[in-house]
Structure 1
Amino acid sequence: MQRQDIELLAPAGDWDCMRAAVANGADAIFFGVEKFNARARANNFRMDELPEIMGFLHRYGVKGFLTFNILVFEDELRDAKALIDACIDAGVDAVIVQDLGLVKLIREISPDFPIHGSTQMTITSPEAVEFTKPFDLERVVLGRENNLKQIRKIGEQAKLPMEVFVHGALCVSYSGQCLTSEMWGGRSANRGECAQACRLPYDLMVDGEQKPMGDIAYLLSPKDLAAIDLVPELIEAGVTSFKIEGRLKTPEYVANVVSKYRKAIDAYFDGDRSGPTREEIRELEQSFSRGFTHGFLDGTNNKKLVDGSFPKSRGVYLGRVERVLRDGVVCRIEAPLKRGDGIVFDAGDPTQKEEGGRVYDIRRQGVKIEGEAAEGVVIDIVPGRNDVNLQRVKAGDRIWKTSDPALDRRLRATFETDKPYRVFPLALRVEGREGEPLRTWWTDVQKGNTVQVDSELPLEKALKRPMDRQLLEDQLGRLGGTLFQLDLLEVELEGELIVPVRELNRLRREAVERLDGERPKPPVYVKREADPLAGSRSPEQAAAAPAAPGEARLTALCRTLEQVRAACETDVAMIYADFEFIKQFPAAIETARAAGKPIALATPRIHMPGENGYHANILKLKPDAVLVRNTGALYYYLKARMERPGEPFPQLIGDFSLNVANHKAVELFREAGCDVLTPSYDLNIQQMVDLLGRTAEPEALEVVLHQHLPMFHTEHCVYCTFISEGTDFTNCGRPCEEHDISLQDRIGMSHPVRVDEGCRNTVYNAIEQSGAEYVKNFLELGVRSYRIEFLEEPAEKVGEVLRLYRDALDGRISGTQVWRSLKATNQLGVTRGQLAK
């Protein structure tokens, strides 16, 4: 791989961040506009700024990628199309997309406009990459849970450029698979409105009893990713784009992180393997750090991923308070410190007010230090008189350096300048003969653009000092303050010639102006004339084919064998077995077969390289259907079905985790080969009605009416981290087989944590939710299949709940009666969930 093959991709939440990224060496920028991006809280840009943004970036040879990485609801498709049209017209280099329905829409608008598959697509296996290939994605952004070995394998097998996050905040949940904000506040992470529930404190409940954890309360709050020392390994694993997280961060953060990774990438190609210095790591920590980790790049190590004692940026660790003085504290510092730096005293409970402020003075053995105190020395730290209440500071408290104004000034100077942020090499050819104009050809080497500029005056024979190469280089190479520097000069003059210096200056100015004007020109993409939204089914057409009460099918998803047995005694049309361990599946199939019930087996929510054995085992068990939860598994089953023509094959049912939020996504998955689809849990009742009203085949959709919402789905194992001495599944001792864990929130609700075959955890909402009150809407819109999902319910509860919903579907009771009955019999009550938001 060559240096030019590697892209350093930087975030920009505003113009200052964009300038900081360009000035410090980014090859590409990702940014959002007001709507349709996963950082709704960022300042973001306006759609009408796109031409200006792309002109600025292209002038400096930098690519610009628009983040379109959220789910798009039915009533937003027209606005989404308008934004894509604007991107094409402005020459945006690619859009970063989560919603596969949007991918279909874009391909109907343009066959060649570049699309990048967002990390929100949950692409973690070669098969998931293969699933995207019919849609001509230019690259994929891998899940942050992939390790280096898996990244290499995906690259070797799938052969599509890979983008990987290398620095910034880590989501504890798989991107695209977090429903916590949606459940608790109607602020969906799949809509850019994450409320960061993972950063909240929780009590650990083990088998119903609270486990004492000392100062460990932030059980789901991971440290920040910093892979700067893994740059060589990432390049050699085949990563082509190094992505920095941080569209909510400051321009100083962007300048700092981009410059450090620029240096690391360049050092690799210069043969320098020395890695970042200690001071460089400290500067990265200073801009933002909850403590640094390699995340999952080295493999899973649950003990290193989550510290648990604080959820927010701390900066640089200075040391512990040794003594409290009248006007300050004594500390042996572990990092340099100077007057004006910000500090905070950490007593171990970040929920309480913490003392902090600016350093007013530094003393060593009673003598004031004017400059910077070096690490390793014992000093008196004197904070500003009104900043810190020293009576609340105790010996043993940790001290963190929270800000460094001098560093910030140095970083701001990189982009708060009148000088161009970058200069580019020029190749110049000069030809001339007496009586003819001086002819010059100027080539922008990076862009490949060439302009010819000729003198307005003819060349004359020189009487005294003829032009030579040195004179031309001096005059034509005076490019200071422009985007260019003279890199190559070819001169071919016949005889001793001269032209006025002012004419040389005019040639230079005109050439630079023309070349500068060529740089921002946008790329040209093919744009189809037809409107891809013109042929959708109207709500009026949808109303013409309602499902009769007797046509409604009821299905039950069970997570224990006892629940399967209970469901088999009802009139459900199908049983779903969703067990923690695949070894339990044969008993479920035997039970269902004995009762004459069709049975579906559920896949894990995530598909990693090397996990196809799980799916091969499912096919060996010959279920009637497979509940498919990711595109990697879907590709595996579609390929297996294609390779077995004429043989019986399970029905393929796409689950909620495929994130189907609009009719274009329904079309895409149906065309790919899905038999039935489950709409996304991000939809409220109006959005669900809109989707069903525009979908040509509402009978191919199954609506989940009842469930405990699966909120977090994470590679981070709470069992391993907090009730085991091990670091991963190889040495944890499998505490999940002996204990049940839940996370108790601040209002006392305990949310169950369950594992799957891959040792991933799902945190379920404590309270059941029911969509019973909307059954009438769904029946009128043609939905014929309704799923009830169980989690920990005993067998008798399974039968009772299924009978309630059967009565509602058949019209014997109302949905409201179902809801009231469930509320009356549940200890924690029941919620209407996301449908009512």
Structure 2
Amino acid sequence: MNKTEILSPAGGIEEFYAAINCGADAVYTGLKSYSARKNAKNLDIGELREIVSYAHLIGRKVYITLNTMLFNEEIENLISILPEIFSCNPDGIIVQDIGLFSVLKNYSKGVELHASTQMTADNFYAVKNLKDFGFDRVVVAREISIDEISHIKEELKVDIEAFVHGALCVCYSGECYFSSTIGERSANRGDCAQPCRKRYNLILDDKPIGKNGFYLSMKDLNTSSNIEDIAKYVDSLKIEGRMKNKEYVATVTNFYYKKLHGEMTTVSQEKELADAFSRGFTKGFILDEDKQSMINSVSPKHIGSIIGKVIDSKNNKSYIKLDSPLYKDDGITFIDKNGKSDGEKITRFLQDGTILEINKALLIGENVYRNYSSKIYDKNKNISEMRKLPIDMFVYSKIGEPLKLKIAYQNRSVEVASDFIVEKSNSCPDSRGILKKQLDRIGDTFFYLDKFEFFGDRDIFVPKSILNEMRREGVSKILEENQAEFKFIDIKKTFKKNKKREPKISLLVDYAVSECVLKDVFEIRLDFDNPNLEKLFNLYRDKDFEPCLVTPSILTKKEVLEIKDLIKQLSVKKVIVNNFALMDLDCDIVVGSSLNVANTYAVDFYKSKGIKEFIPSREMTTTEIDSAFSDTILRLPYYMNTVSMITKTIGKDVIDEINRGKNVKIEDAKNERFPVKYIRGKYYIYNSKPMFMARTIDRIDADIIEITYDENYNQIIDFLKGSIENVDFSYTTGHYNRGVAR
């Protein structure tokens, strides 16, 4: 038996039972709040208790997702319901917020803590440091290959969870700000508006060229053909889909169960996998598929499996030759001659080989897909029914003594004795049938009565109320299990506003700037990606500055080693860290905004490690910042070009133009243009406008404000000092005023 677990999504009760009935070893699910899938059904505490109890009865596991970034008020509210959550006895909790992790680590024993993929564990050293923090399992970034995973597993001996099937975020998880940038819905808080599934126009050198597409829309991951190889190094094979229905959960779970356990699968079952949900399949980064083939630029929607081709089209009629049968009520989809997605509903059974005529003008040679399978829905109609579990009952009866009841389930057994003393019946010489009927009233439980045996006196009388009480007590004891240890301690903090601070200017530069610029500057920052980094370090040191090194949020193992060598070579004193891989540096660390610190618990976690300086999460208001970052050295971005998304791939049209050296932007339906740059193997998508705090220095509560030097610098300084009231460039104030949706 393979020890690797199949981990299935359970957006609700129906999806839980569908997963369990189809072979899942574990499920992950969320509560009504604090989950990275805010719009899934999610569970209340009563439903959570039900599914954990049932799962444990059959040897399965349940993990709770508390994997969002939390503000002070939210983490306090969550702490208040932790006793209820832990009383449900979950097997593990998936966490993004390092503040919540620090609470849970001190709060419980026996419940595993898993580092969410939202923590961007995208390299060996990030996984290592998360393990050293105390995480029991790390959900690695989707961008990591199986070769990297195998090395991590062999060297670190850490529990690894990896996505093997389902929807893919084009951006590195935990680093996507596109949704909250264009609106208020935060991807880091489970409320993504999915701008990656929108159509964009291609802009070259600030001019539209008549091309457009879904340049950010990833195909869906499908590693089923290589799942046995992946299972050698991955402890938990994770299926995406807490927003998906029970039919999807059942179909995908069952298929991977068969694959993992060496059972034969058919072409028809492979098509069902696509019919359940697919935007087209890719083997993903985990199996090193060509990155240009991972984007479906034509459609962001579910298309399903290929069922035929257009063989002719004339007079607004098209003819499709089927290579798979279609069933009544199936839905088919295709792209019309204008490049638009369209579809038809099938009204009768059609055998493969049939020529299907439709009243649409389609392109000859185009594939046609089934995007609704009535067969899958019929097949899984009852898949979410709870399968009752067999229990045995043994009754021991002796007139003049308490009645005894023994209930057995698998290797568990309990005994219950009545306070009532058994009496002789004057009217019933054999009471076995009466007792069995009353004790068998367990229809509202997980069980059914399999075996019933009776020992002792038969001509007895016991009130039905006593039998009911004994039955309820016995079943309740069967459900009892050892609770995880947890201690409820008063860990709530007193949040206090920062004392008034006088901000100093930290300037990010790409080259040597004039002395007149430097007169207002307290600190120089230099980006790791700057090609003249070493030269600039020495230049600014000669001008009596000790530059602060800014490091990327996405790093390979090789880049981590390069940064560490550079720090040693240049004797760098201070580093802004945006990736967990660099949390063990032997120099002063500034916690960067990409680590999404948003509450006092997270601040105190890092302070316990000797870190004093912080850049808050980009998705906080100034009011939220004030309450979370007291007694710290606080740095606030004042003016900068913000990155909305970092991806490892993008639409082919975009890649081709970047490779030609073009200045590339993508334009949305509101005519906002987002620059795209290729840096160290990643595509950086910037916001259409710079972020400008637009406050004078007397209205800013921070120790340091960060400014990026560019052509607007003089205006920014004049505005900061109150010399001018307006600037002549377009900007956004980010989330300082509006925040993100709650």
TM-score normalized by structure 2? 0.86
Q: Which has the higher helix share?
A: 1
Q: Partner of 1:145 in structure 2? A: 143
Alpha-carbon distance, 1:772 to partner: 2.8
Look up the SS of the partner of 2:301 in the other structure.
Answer: coil
Alignment match of 2:689 (pick from 757, 764, 767): 767
1:102 aligns with 2:39: no
Specify whether residues 122 and 621 from structure 1 end up closer, same or farther in structure 2 by C-alpha distance, changes over 3 A only: same
Letter in 1 for 2:695: E
Look up the SS of the partner of 2:104 in the other structure.
Answer: helix
Alignment match of 1:616 (pick from 564, 581, 592): 564
Specify whether residues 300 and 804 from structure 1 end up closer, same or farther in structure 2 by C-alpha distance, changes over 3 A only: farther
Q: Partner of 1:740 in structure 2? A: 663
Conserved 8 A contact 1:579-1:756:
no
Letter in 2 for 1:596: D
Distance across 2 between alignment mates of 1:138 and 1:484: 34
Q: Partner of 1:252 in structure 2? A: 247
Conserved 8 A contact 2:641-2:689:
yes
- 1:254-284 superposed Cα distances (whole Å, 9 cap, x missing partner): 111111112222x24xxx6x6x432222101
Q: Partner of 1:232 in structure 2? A: 228
Q: Partner of 1:532 in structure 2? A: 491
Q: Partner of 2:511 in structure 1? A: 561
1:130 aligns with 2:96: no
Q: Partner of 1:332 in structure 2? A: 321
Q: Partner of 1:301 in structure 2? A: 290
Q: Partner of 2:641 in structure 1? A: 708
Specify whether residues 565 and 785 from structure 1 end up closer, same or farther in structure 2 by C-alpha distance, changes over 3 A only: same
Distance across 1 between alignment mates of 2:118 and 2:605: 17
Alignment match of 1:222 (pick from 218, 224, 234): 218
Alpha-carbon distance, 1:163 to partner: 1.0
Distance across 1 between alignment mates of 2:662 and 2:354: 48
Distance across 1 between alignment mates of 2:338 and 2:474: 59
Conserved 8 A contact 2:282-2:289:
no
Specify whether residues 52 and 832 from structure 1 end up closer, same or farther in structure 2 by C-alpha distance, changes over 3 A only: same
- 1:497-543 superposed Cα distances (whole Å, 9 cap, x missing partner): 999899xxx9xx99998885445435423333431114x3433xx3x
Look up the SS of the partner of 1:102 in the other structure.
Answer: helix
Distance across 2 between alignment mates of 1:612 and 1:240: 25
Q: Which moved more, 1:392-401 or 1:22-31?
A: 392-401
Alpha-carbon distance, 1:684 to partner: 2.0
Specify whether residues 171 and 397 from structure 1 end up closer, same or farther in structure 2 by C-alpha distance, changes over 3 A only: same
Q: Which moved more, 1:256-265 or 1:44-53?
A: 44-53
TM-score normalized by structure 1? 0.77
Conserved 8 A contact 1:50-1:86:
no
Instruction: Note the 1:307-322 alignment, pairs <5 A.
Output: 307-322=296-311
Structure 1: state its 5+ residue gaps: 362-370, 383-389, 432-436, 458-478, 489-496, 642-649, 725-733
Conserved 8 A contact 1:286-1:403:
yes
Look up the SS of the partner of 1:116 in the other structure.
Answer: strand
Instruction: Note the 1:680-691 alignment, pairs <5 A.
Output: 680-691=617-628
1:602 aligns with 2:550: yes
Specify whether residues 521 and 773 from structure 1 end up closer, same or farther in structure 2 by C-alpha distance, changes over 3 A only: farther
Alpha-carbon distance, 1:755 to partner: 3.0
Specify whether residues 756 and 713 from structure 1 end up closer, same or farther in structure 2 by C-alpha distance, changes over 3 A only: same
Specify whether residues 720 and 311 from structure 1 end up closer, same or farther in structure 2 by C-alpha distance, changes over 3 A only: closer
Q: Partner of 2:708 in structure 1? A: 789
Q: Partner of 1:406 in structure 2? A: 375
- 1:264-313 superposed Cα distances (whole Å, 9 cap, x missing partner): 22x24xxx6x6x43222210110110001111011262112113111111
Letter in 1 for 2:561: G
Specify whether residues 499 and 380 from structure 1 end up closer, same or farther in structure 2 by C-alpha distance, changes over 3 A only: farther
Structure 2: state its 5+ residue gaps: 397-401, 423-441
Using the aligned pairs only, state the percent identity. 26
Specify whether residues 659 and 277 from structure 1 end up closer, same or farther in structure 2 by C-alpha distance, changes over 3 A only: same
Specify whether residues 396 and 735 from structure 1 end up closer, same or farther in structure 2 by C-alpha distance, changes over 3 A only: closer
Specify whether residues 302 and 661 from structure 1 end up closer, same or farther in structure 2 by C-alpha distance, changes over 3 A only: same
Letter in 2 for 1:696: D
Distance across 1 between alignment mates of 2:168 and 2:146: 17
Q: Partner of 1:46 in structure 2? A: 44
Alignment match of 1:592 (pick from 534, 540, 550): 540
Alpha-carbon distance, 1:173 to partner: 0.5
Alpha-carbon distance, 1:151 to partner: 0.9
Alignment match of 2:343 (pick from 342, 356, 361): 356
Distance across 1 between alignment mates of 2:51 and 2:286: 33
Distance across 2 between alignment mates of 1:735 and 1:565: 34
- 1:307-343 superposed Cα distances (whole Å, 9 cap, x missing partner): 3111111112223323358997422223322332111
Specify whether residues 113 and 711 from structure 1 end up closer, same or farther in structure 2 by C-alpha distance, changes over 3 A only: same
Letter in 2 for 1:604: P
Q: Partner of 2:714 in structure 1? A: 800
Letter in 2 for 1:359: I
Letter in 1 for 2:506: T
Alpha-carbon distance, 1:628 to partner: 1.3
Distance across 2 between alignment mates of 1:230 and 1:566: 60
Letter in 2 for 1:760: K
Conserved 8 A contact 2:318-2:360:
no
Specify whether residues 56 and 485 from structure 1 end up closer, same or farther in structure 2 by C-alpha distance, changes over 3 A only: closer
- 1:633-652 superposed Cα distances (whole Å, 9 cap, x missing partner): 223x1xxx2xxxxxxxx422
Distance across 1 between alignment mates of 2:168 and 2:10: 18
Letter in 1 for 2:500: P
Letter in 2 for 1:408: Y
Distance across 2 between alignment mates of 1:220 and 1:188: 18
Conserved 8 A contact 1:164-1:241:
yes
Conserved 8 A contact 2:216-2:650:
no
Instruction: Note the 1:333-482 alignment, pairs <5 A.
Output: 333-347=322-336, 352=340, 354-361=341-348, 371-374=349-352, 377-381=353-357, 390=359, 393=362, 395=364, 398-415=367-384, 417=385, 420-421=386-387, 444-445=409-410, 448-451=411-414
Look up the SS of the partner of 1:835 in the other structure.
Answer: coil
Specify whether residues 713 and 394 from structure 1 end up closer, same or farther in structure 2 by C-alpha distance, changes over 3 A only: closer
Distance across 2 between alignment mates of 1:194 and 1:441: 52
Letter in 2 for 1:252: E
Q: Please tell me the root mean square deviation across aligned C-alpha atoms, in Å.
A: 4.0
- 1:42-79 superposed Cα distances (whole Å, 9 cap, x missing partner): 22223454333433433444322221111101122221
Distance across 2 between alignment mates of 1:154 and 1:524: 32
Q: Partner of 2:198 in structure 1? A: 200
Distance across 2 between alignment mates of 1:498 and 1:831: 83
Specify whether residues 719 and 249 from structure 1 end up closer, same or farther in structure 2 by C-alpha distance, changes over 3 A only: closer
Conserved 8 A contact 1:330-1:378:
no
Look up the SS of the partner of 2:542 in the other structure.
Answer: helix
Q: Partner of 1:756 in structure 2? A: 679
Conserved 8 A contact 1:566-1:799:
no
Alpha-carbon distance, 1:392 to partner: 5.1
Specify whether residues 134 and 80 from structure 1 end up closer, same or farther in structure 2 by C-alpha distance, changes over 3 A only: farther
Specify whether residues 341 and 769 from structure 1 end up closer, same or farther in structure 2 by C-alpha distance, changes over 3 A only: same
Q: Which moved more, 1:510-519 or 1:109-118?
A: 510-519
Look up the SS of the partner of 1:13 in the other structure.
Answer: coil
Specify whether residues 786 and 501 from structure 1 end up closer, same or farther in structure 2 by C-alpha distance, changes over 3 A only: farther
Conserved 8 A contact 1:451-1:511:
no
- 1:594-649 superposed Cα distances (whole Å, 9 cap, x missing partner): 322221222221233344321233211223322211111223x1xxx2xxxxxxxx
